[in-house]
């Protein structure tokens, strides 16, 4: 706890120095509650997070971002709460804003060395369909670096390419195992297209490939995650007093490799669920001060090669944005989810609720 206290003190000093300077930055804070219930579970799985995000332009083309999200999770009598890891990121634009380089440090301030009950809760929080904001509190020291370049083909179309690398340091994840766990690093490549279909209809397409190096436990290779392929499509239709939008996502992974006692061997089947998501929404400004938000969402995670059934969820959301002052605004929204899927080898009904409250201050 002592190192956590020292870090928080340093962050407060950092924030104080930023806030004492000219009005150029953005401070975002929030509160998010997520609750999911399953048919055969006596208690719901819940988590509340408190994200803090500071973006400050050091120069016209250089930004620094500080992010931290403490959280409290609960399942019956099991509790998992504490600080998250803290991220410090920076971006630098050059070449007439066509190129961008980024770098980040993930400081290991989050909770690790979980006991058996906390490990079980963390497993529930990591279920993809629930999209909990903080499934893992701490993952050790992390570094990231990336570069991107955008080329305007013509007045309607822009092509972008990028690459990134994420280094993950070792840490002790469990009180039951004294060995250090070294998660694999990540290498990613992104190709994107922005296209103006009509004067008021804008589209974007992203194709992402992620490759992962081998995980180690006490310097022994134990697991290699399969490469991940992601496709994203977005549309935005501009209205007189707002806009309509659509986002689609498709993600799949190759087979993993697992240690069999002698070597890493490919799994006999691909046990990774293919993830497909679709979200539609609207933002309508009623006045210069208030805007209404509405959305509907489908999450469909397909059956895998092991014949494990996926999850199908449907959700609707409503919210608003309120610009109370010139530099200060608040937003609030709620979502309801319903559906079914496989959990512990049986098909069950799922229901979920999310409440989001956010503030934004331009300082």
Q: Report if residue 162 sits inside a domain.
A: yes
* Residue 154: domain span: 52-183
Domain-located, residue 34: no
Question: Would residue 27 count as lying in a domain?
Answer: no
Q: From residue 4, how far is each of 88, 109, 261 by CA, in Å?
A: 16, 6, 38
Residue 335, in any domain of the structure: no
32 in a domain, yes or no? no
Count other Cβ atoms within 10 Å, centred on residue 78: 18
Q: Looking at the domain assignment, is residue 2 inside a domain? A: no
pLDDT at 304: 67
Q: Are the C-beta atoms of 282 and 242 separated by less than 8 Å?
A: yes
* Residue 338 in domain: no
In the chain the first and final C-alpha atoms are separated, in Å, by 31
What is the model's pLDDT at position 3?
47
Contact 182, 216 (CB under 8 A): yes
Series of mean pLDDT values for 10-residue runs along the chain (363 residues): 46 49 81 95 96 94 96 96 96 94 97 93 91 94 97 96 97 90 96 97 98 94 93 98 97 88 80 88 97 97 68 96 95 97 86 98 93
pTM of the entire predicted model: 0.88
What pLDDT score was predicted for residue 9? Answer: 47
Per-residue pLDDT at 19:
46
Residue 338 confidence (pLDDT): 97
Amino acid 2: pLDDT = 45
Nearby residues of 326 by Cβ (< 8 Å), 6 or more positions away: none
The residues, ordered by sequence, that sit 6+ positions from 59 with a Cβ below 8 Å of its Cβ are: none
Query: 3-class SS at 2?
Result: helix
Task: Compute the C-alpha angle 249/88/8, nearest 5°.
Answer: 120
Residue-by-residue DSSP string for 254-312: ---EEE-SSSEEE-SS--PPPEEEEEEEEEEESSSSEEEEEEEEEEEE---TT----EE
- Residue 111 in tokens: 């909770």
Given a contact cutoff of 8 angstroms between Cβ atoms, the answer to whether 342 and 38 are in contact is no
Q: How many domains does the chain contain in total?
A: 1
User: If you write DSSP's letter for every residue of 153-211 in order, what string do you get?
Assistant: -SSSEEEEEEEEEEEE--B--BSS--SPEEPPPEEEEEEEEEEEEETTEEEEEEEEEEE
- Pairing verdict, β 186-198 and 157-168: antiparallel
| Strand pairing report for 220-224 and 215-217 | antiparallel
Pairing verdict, β 181-182 and 215-217 = antiparallel
290 found inside a domain: no
């Amino acid at each position: 706890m002592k190192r956590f206290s020292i870090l928080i003190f340093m962050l407060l000093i950092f924030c104080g120095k930023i806030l004492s300077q000219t009005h150029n930055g953005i401070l975002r804070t929030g509160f998010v509650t997520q609750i999911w219930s399953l048919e055969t579970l006596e208690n719901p799985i819940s988590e509340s997070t408190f994200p803090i995000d500071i973006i400050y332009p050091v120069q016209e083309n250089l930004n620094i971002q500080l992010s931290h999200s403490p959280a409290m999770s609960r399942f019956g009598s099991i509790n998992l709460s504490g600080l998250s890891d803290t991220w410090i990121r920076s971006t630098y634009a050059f070449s007439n804003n066509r190129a961008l380089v980024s770098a980040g440090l993930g400081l290991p301030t989050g909770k690790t060395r979980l006991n058996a009950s906390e490990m079980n809760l963390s497993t529930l929080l990591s279920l993809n369909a629930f999209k909990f904001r903080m499934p893992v509190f701490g993952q050790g020291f992390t570094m990231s670096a990336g570069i991107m370049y955008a080329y305007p083909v013509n007045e309607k179309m822009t092509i972008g390419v990028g690459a990134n690398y994420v280094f993950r340091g070792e840490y002790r994840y469990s009180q039951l195992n004294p060995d250090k766990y070294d998660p694999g690093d990540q290498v990613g490549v992104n190709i994107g297209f922005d296209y103006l279909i009509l004067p008021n209809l804008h589209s974007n397409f992203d194709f992402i490939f992620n490759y992962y190096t081998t995980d180690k436990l006490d310097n022994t290779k134990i697991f290699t995650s399969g490469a991940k392929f992601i496709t994203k499509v977005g549309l935005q239709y501009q209205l007189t007093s707002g806009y309509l939008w659509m986002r689609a996502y498709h993600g799949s992974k190759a087979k993993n490799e697992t240690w069999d006692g002698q070597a890493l061997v490919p799994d006999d089947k691909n046990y990774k669920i293919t993830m497909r998501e679709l979200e539609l929404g609207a933002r309508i400004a009623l006045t210069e001060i208030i805007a209404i938000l509405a959305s509907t969402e489908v999450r469909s995670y397909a059956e895998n090669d092991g014949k494990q059934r996926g999850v199908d969820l449907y959700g609707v959301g409503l919210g608003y944005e309120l610009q109370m002052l010139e530099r200060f605004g608040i937003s609030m929204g709620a979502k309801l989810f319903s559906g079914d899927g496989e959990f512990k080898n049986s098909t069950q009904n799922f229901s979920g609720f999310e409440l989001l409250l956010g503030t934004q201050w331009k300082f």
